[in-house]
Amino acid sequence: MTHICEQYFSGEDDNTSDYISEGLMRSVLHASRIAKRNPQDYEARSNLMWTATWALNTLIAKGKSTDWMVHMLGQAVGAYTNATHGMTLATVSLPYYRYILPYGLPKFKRFAIEVWKVNPEGKADEEIAEEGLKAMEDWMKELGLAMKISELGATKDMIDGIADATFLLEGGYKVLKREEVVAILKESL
């Protein structure tokens, strides 16, 4: 899911890659819930692996600038905690997305509606977008993912080092400054 989101949350044009990404994300939601209930369900697990292949084979990056800051944050957390790749991404993704939401509001609104089936009727764009991120958070908790870097062993006194180890990339909705990285990491504690 994070690999898809890293490519999805960039750009503002009507890009065919985004439609493909939305379908892949809906597939991850469907299959992950089945696999959680029944880890032996071959079809659900094969669909997750098939989606994982499409998430990184460069197709959905076509025509996109792509972001990858969740990975940069997660890699730095992993360097300090030795936590797994997926868990570090889970712990920093929502604080990062909530931080950049105002800069990419149209795409976050679209994400909420198209992936999470948020009903937009009578709601402001920001409310719709936040509801989508809340749905993502609930799904991550449903799967049993770590939600805070402290769950992985990170402590407050590690924040400066983790921030220093975080590569700052262009391509997303906002190029972060070091103090913004620190704020996101503190939010993820």
- DSSP-derived secondary structure for 64-127: -----HHHHHHHHHHHHH---HHHHHHHHHHHHHHHHGGGSHHHHHHHHHHTT----TT--HHH
- pLDDT tens-place string over residues 31-46: 999 999 999 999 999 9
Q: Is 149 in contact with 156 (CB distance < 8 Å)?
A: no
The reported pLDDT for the residue numbered 91 is: 98
Whole-number Å distance between alpha carbons of 65 and 171 = 5
Residue 85: which region, alpha, beta or left (left: phi > 0; alpha: psi -120 to 50)? Answer: alpha
Mean pLDDT of 69-95: 98
| Cα–chain center distance at 19 | 17
Contact at 8 Å (CB) between 133 and 108?
Answer: yes
Domains in the chain and their CATH numbers?
A: 2-188 (1.20.1090.10)
Burial letters 34-49, b for 16+ CB under 10 A, else e: ebeeeeeeeebbebbe
pLDDT at 53: 96
Q: What is the pLDDT of residue 165?
A: 98
Q: Can you read off the two tokens belonging to residue 163?
A: 């921030």
Mean of pLDDT over the chain:
97
Q: What is the pLDDT of residue 46?
A: 98
Cα–Cα dist 117/113, whole Å: 5
